[in-house]
Structure 1
């Protein structure tokens, strides 16, 4: 056991073991990003587990979560600006050595994120059915997708709350603790999924384990035949709720990462203006991505359900492949924030450049592997050969442009860390709204679903070029949010309570 802990310690080091504002660039960026890769892998496991088990359940259920996932992303994206703002403020205050201000920023972020997620979840519950209908869900798919989204909407506060916990801990420089909490939550979700989806009447898990006799006995005793796609949603919400409880307990104790305090959580409207000023562009960026996904789904819905299901498989595979890019971008965001706070912008620039170079190489290699293994990858998620063929085609069209996503993510992460969330949002909107969607709309009418796949490839390359060119202008360097001369809001830190 001691040897195992030593090996884990060599891979995952906490913020107390390295300094983000001095010394080498690569080592702290690696130790900051590696736990984020694992955390995001665990988070993606939620979606992959649902995709796998619902693929065994029915093709309609698989198509239903293809509609539901972009809508979940949209609801979370509308409120994600608060978490990004909190993370950036915590990072910059930590880098500047202003611990009290970091705690206040974290406490206010938790308060307003809870309020925002409850409001968004309530609105989402009442509109999801109509929204999915407008998006073109078929008569067979619509009720399934609606049932799934109603449960997710009711549990949105738990899902978003845990995302805020991860963001605040990351801003402080602690990416290990969220990883460990996420691991426990994912294991719980994976255990619950097959039972809540299938129950005990015809559960493929028992067949896989050769335990058909036990399945019959449990069904005879309980009569539980599963809740289908609703069961998958319940498993996800329950697992996230438990993770949030653990995350809040950690932050209130303050022994790891950033600390929050009840006395700092009374809503401060002046501070809300500060969070909104930084966070709205980040929400625009996330919402732009979500709207793009939903608009693309509108185009995809013009095709048969097999294409919709294949699109869902492809986007989930991408979510796994792009984990290193997302993780390193978050690492760059934290490094940029802390180094801007410490008045060391040159280190932030070196971190972004190193991240872009490494990610381009790693994701290009991954793209080549996916291109050759596209069909076996798709076959993991469904037993429908038509869906496998279409999903494999989707993967091959996009795979060789994976490296460009790494470049774009690295530089937009640095923009966010510097507080230039509007710039990151503009790049995202240009890539998705001005390039991807119009190409998909036109090309799908000319060459069928292949036109949608082409739009992904072209926009990946264009997005990387835009991000690199914009970063070279150097306008991100004046993003110190701890500088009282910067007009972030009318109150500044003078409105922040200080220790007695």
Structure 2
């Protein structure tokens, strides 16, 4: 999963690197797109979470045919919902990015990139949700191969379309979007072949309206709150981008690079957030709550140590990373400032992410959603804005760290309470199953 996630996250980072070679304005333009593209991606992540929870339960209870029906329904549902969201986004590019404080000078670059990116987003949804089906069935190797291959294809196509070669014209920033489109189209066709033909984990046909309605209802019960929780992140990111934009295009460019690096720095956390939930779901279903507590505890300890090592690495490499992405001294110094402060909070951010994914696995998506609201709009945005007001851009970066520390403490308390309630439920189920021995 770590290998697959590295290639998955490389999409944005590789796009950012090659676009940065075009100039600061193009780099700032693609940095503005991050909160919007992540909104669409968040919807697919949420649908994948709902799909994984439902398919995993059905596989565990040996309801194989029903599992196939739900797998087909999840893919159809994701294509429909992402298609609707992408259509709305396509026709609202200018007003949305105007709200994010994108200047008129940057708008042509943003339109060139987002117009084609929205078209590709439907094909993005299919492999992401399809991979959730595979993971729910206990296969994490195949999703990694798919993601790594698709990410590698994107990396190969990026320079080809951005700068041109032979008969292929230089498309600049639009070339990055075309590379993403082709890569995800290949990924979508591949994952459908794996699920429908090779592994037979889905039905080789479209569902009827009644079948789609029935499967969608259960998937959305978990998927919508999870998607909502994930979509709050880019909304908060949009607010933060608008604030950073007040410091100029150089600050936005640095902020965009920092966010892309954050994705890479959080690879291990993201991989665990996809592998820990099936483990927790199965053990909750089997009423093995002690195993849930132990898995959660071990995972958090590991993440805190690992992310501190990542912070030290990013501190030491901050100068080199800044030079790689920036052609102007001011942009480079701001990238370095970001990398020397913000990564200090990545360990606590890992606690927050893994707690939310664990709560979704325990079929408590609304609790995870509430925690996401508290994290972003009680801690992250207000504390960062206050830091910006008091100490400028450096204060905003420090505010990010403080917000993560505070929210991690809240997350731990909430999960402890959820586990206590699960233990109570486990005891009640045991009493119901064997009232004589319980007495």
Relative to the length of structure 1, the TM-score reads 0.81
Find the residue that maps to 1:448 and give its secondary structure. helix
Correspondence for 2:38? 73
Q: Which residue among 258, 267, 277 is the counterpart of 1:314? A: 258
| Partners of 1:195 and 1:287 in 2: CA distance | 32
Correspondence for 1:253? 197
CA contact under 8 A between 1:92 and 1:340: conserved in structure 2?
Answer: no
| Partners of 1:165 and 1:457 in 2: CA distance | 34
Cα deviations across residues 430-470 of structure 1 (Å, max 9, x unaligned)? 11111111122232223221232122111211221111111
Aligned ranges 1:470-489 → 2 under 5 Å: 470-475=414-419, 478=422
Show structure 1 runs of 4+ deviating over 6 A. none
Q: 1:311 to 1:73 in 2, by over 3 A?
A: same
2:230 is equivalent to residue 265 of structure 1: no
Q: Which residue among 456, 460, 464 is the counterpart of 2:408? A: 464
CA contact under 8 A between 1:39 and 1:179: conserved in structure 2?
Answer: yes
Q: Which residue among 225, 231, 238 is the counterpart of 1:281? A: 225
Correspondence for 1:198? 163
Correspondence for 1:89? 54
Correspondence for 1:105? 70
Q: 1:328 to 1:402 in 2, by over 3 A?
A: same
Q: 1:94 Cα deviation (Å)?
A: 2.3
Structure 1 portions without partners, runs of 5+ = 1-35, 201-217, 480-484, 486-500
CA contact under 8 A between 1:418 and 1:477: conserved in structure 2?
Answer: no
Cα deviations across residues 313-334 of structure 1 (Å, max 9, x unaligned)? 1111110011101111211111
Q: 1:104 to 1:476 in 2, by over 3 A?
A: farther
| Partners of 1:318 and 1:337 in 2: CA distance | 28
Q: 1:279 Cα deviation (Å)?
A: 1.6
Find the residue that maps to 2:91 and give its secondary structure. helix
CA contact under 8 A between 2:67 and 2:202: conserved in structure 1?
Answer: no
CA contact under 8 A between 1:46 and 1:186: conserved in structure 2?
Answer: yes
CA contact under 8 A between 2:74 and 2:215: conserved in structure 1?
Answer: no
Cα deviations across residues 147-184 of structure 1 (Å, max 9, x unaligned)? 21111111110011121112221222211101111222
| Partners of 2:354 and 2:42 in 1: CA distance | 20
Q: 1:97 Cα deviation (Å)?
A: 3.3
Structure 2 portions without partners, runs of 5+ = 424-428, 430-439
Q: 1:254 Cα deviation (Å)?
A: 4.6
Aligned ranges 1:137-148 → 2 under 5 Å: 137-148=102-113
Q: 1:378 Cα deviation (Å)?
A: 2.1
Correspondence for 2:295? 351
Cα deviations across residues 270-324 of structure 1 (Å, max 9, x unaligned)? 3322222222210111111111111111111111111000001111111001110
Q: 1:264 Cα deviation (Å)?
A: 6.8
Correspondence for 1:380? 324
Q: 1:382 Cα deviation (Å)?
A: 2.3
2:118 is equivalent to residue 120 of structure 1: no
Relative to the length of structure 2, the TM-score reads 0.92
2:401 is equivalent to residue 401 of structure 1: no
Correspondence for 2:380? 436
Cα deviations across residues 357-407 of structure 1 (Å, max 9, x unaligned)? 111111111112212322212222222221111011111111222221222
| Partners of 2:411 and 2:58 in 1: CA distance | 26
Correspondence for 1:291? 235
| Partners of 1:241 and 1:248 in 2: CA distance | 11
Q: 1:263 Cα deviation (Å)?
A: 5.1
| Partners of 2:323 and 2:364 in 1: CA distance | 42
2:11 is equivalent to residue 46 of structure 1: yes
Q: How many residues align?
A: 422
| Partners of 2:143 and 2:407 in 1: CA distance | 30
Aligned Cα RMSD in Å? Answer: 1.9
| Partners of 1:383 and 1:199 in 2: CA distance | 21
Q: 1:475 Cα deviation (Å)?
A: 4.9
Find the residue that maps to 1:261 and give its secondary structure. coil
- Would you tell me which structure has more helix in proportion to its own residues? 2
CA contact under 8 A between 2:23 and 2:327: conserved in structure 1?
Answer: no
Q: Which residue among 125, 138, 143 is the counterpart of 1:173? A: 138
Q: 1:344 Cα deviation (Å)?
A: 2.3
